Amino acid sequence: MDDATEQERRVKANAQDYNDKFSYAGNHIKTSKYNIFTFLPVNLFEQFQRVANAYFVVLLILQLIPAISSLSWFTTIVPLVLVLVITAVKDATDDYFRHKSDEQVNNRPSQVLIGGSLQNEKWMNLQVGDIIKLENNQIVAADILLLSSSEPYGLCYIETAELDGETNLKVRQALSVTSDLSDISKLYDFDGEVICEPPNNKLDRFTGTLYWRDMKYPLDNDKMLLRGCVLRNTKWCFGMVVFAGLQTKLMQNCGRTTFKRTSIDKLMNTLVLWIFGFLICMGVILAIGNTIWESRIGRNFQVYLPQDGFLSNAVLSGFLTFWSYIIILNTVVPISLYVSVEVLRLGHSYFINWDRKMYYSQKDIPAEARTTTLNEELGQVEFIFSDKTGTLTQNIMVFKKCSINGKTYGMVELIFCSNERTACVDFSFNPLCDTRFKFYDNSLVEAIQLEDPSVQEFFRLLALCHTVMPEEKCEGRLLYQAQSPDEGALVTAARNFGFVFRARTPETITLCETGQAVTYQLLAILDFNNVRKRMSEFAGEGLRTLALAYRDLDEEYFEVWRKKLLFTSTLIENREGQLAVLYEEIEQGLKLLGATAIEDKLQEGVPETIARLSLADIKIWVLTGDKLETAMNIGYSCGMLRDDMNEVFVISGYTLLEVQQQLRSAKEHVLGLSRLSSAGDVEKSDVFADDSVFEETIISEYALVINGHSLAHALEPQLEHTLLDLACLCKAVICCRVTPMQKAQVVELVKRHKRAVTLAIGDGANDVSMIKTAHIGVGISGQEGMQAVLASDYSFAQFRYLQRLLLVHGRWSYFRMCNFLWYFFYKNFAFTLVHFWFAFFCGFSAQTVYDQWFITLFNIVYTSLPVLAMGLFDQDVSDQNSLQYPSLYKPGQLNLLFNKRQFFLCTLQGMGTSFLLFFIPYGAFSLVMKEDVSHVSDQQAFAVTIATSLVIIVSVQIGLKTYYWTAVNHVFIWGSLVIYFAILFAVQSDGIFGIFPNQFPFVGTARNFLMEKNVWLVILLTTVRYLQQASKRQGPQERNLRRVRRTSSRRSAYAFSHQQGYGELITSGKNMRTTVVPSNPSPGRVPHNSTWIDNMLKRKSEVACISDESKRSPENSSRALQTQKNQCTD
Which residues are identified as catalytic?
387
Q: Report the distance separating Cα 895 and Cα 821, nearest Å.
A: 14
H helix count then E strand count, the chain: 43, 33
Rounded to an integer, what distance in angstroms lies between the CA atom of residue 470 and that of residue 463? Answer: 12
**Contacts for 266-272: CB closer than 8 Å, 24+ residues apart:** 267/898, 267/899, 267/900, 268/337, 268/338, 268/341, 268/821, 270/900, 271/825, 271/900, 271/903, 272/51, 272/52, 272/333, 272/334, 272/337
| Sign of the torsion formed by the C-alpha atoms of 41, 45, 46 and 52 | positive
859 and 331 in contact (C-beta within 8 Å)? yes
Spatial CA neighbour of 812 closest among 764, 739, 742, 870: 870
Task: List Cβ neighbours of 549 (8 Å cut-off, separation of 6 or more).
Answer: 590, 591, 592, 593
Q: What's the full length of the chain, in residues?
A: 1130
DSSP string, 1056-1095: HTTS--SHHHHHHTGGGS-----SSPPTT---TTS-HHHH
- Tell how strand 193-196 and strand 9-12 pair up: antiparallel
Give one DSSP letter per residue of 612-671, joined into a string.
Answer: HHHHTT-EEEEE-SS-HHHHHHHHHHTTSS-TTSSEEEEE--SSHHHHHHHHHHHHHHHH
DSSP track, 666-698:
HHHHHHHHHHHHH--SHHHHHHTSSHHHHGGG-
- The DSSP symbol for 929 reads B
Contact 243, 143 (CB under 8 A): yes
Beta bridge partners, 521, equal: 508
246 Cβ contact partners less than 8 Å away, ≥ 6 residues apart: 25, 29, 30, 252
Q: What whole-number distance in Å separates Cα of residue 31 and Cα of residue 935?
A: 68
Q: Please tell me the distance from the alpha carbon of residue 287 to that of residue 298, in angstroms, as a whole number.
A: 14
Which helix (H) or strand (E) segment holds residue 269: the answer is helix 263-296
**What b/e sequence results for 559-584 when a residue is b if at least 16 CB atoms lie within 10 Å of its CB, and e otherwise?**
eeeeeebeebbbeeeebeebbbebbe
**E runs forming strands in 959-1015:** none
Sheet of 155-159, strands arranged across:
170-173, 155-159, 230-232
Which strands form 398-404's sheet, in the order they lie side by side?
Answer: 407-409, 398-404, 591-599, 544-550
3-state secondary structure 20-55: HCCCCCCCCCCCCCCCCCCHHHHHHHHHCCCHHHHH
Q: CA-CA distance, 843 to 68, in Å (whole number)?
A: 15
Count of beta carbons in the 10 Å neighbourhood of residue 907: 20
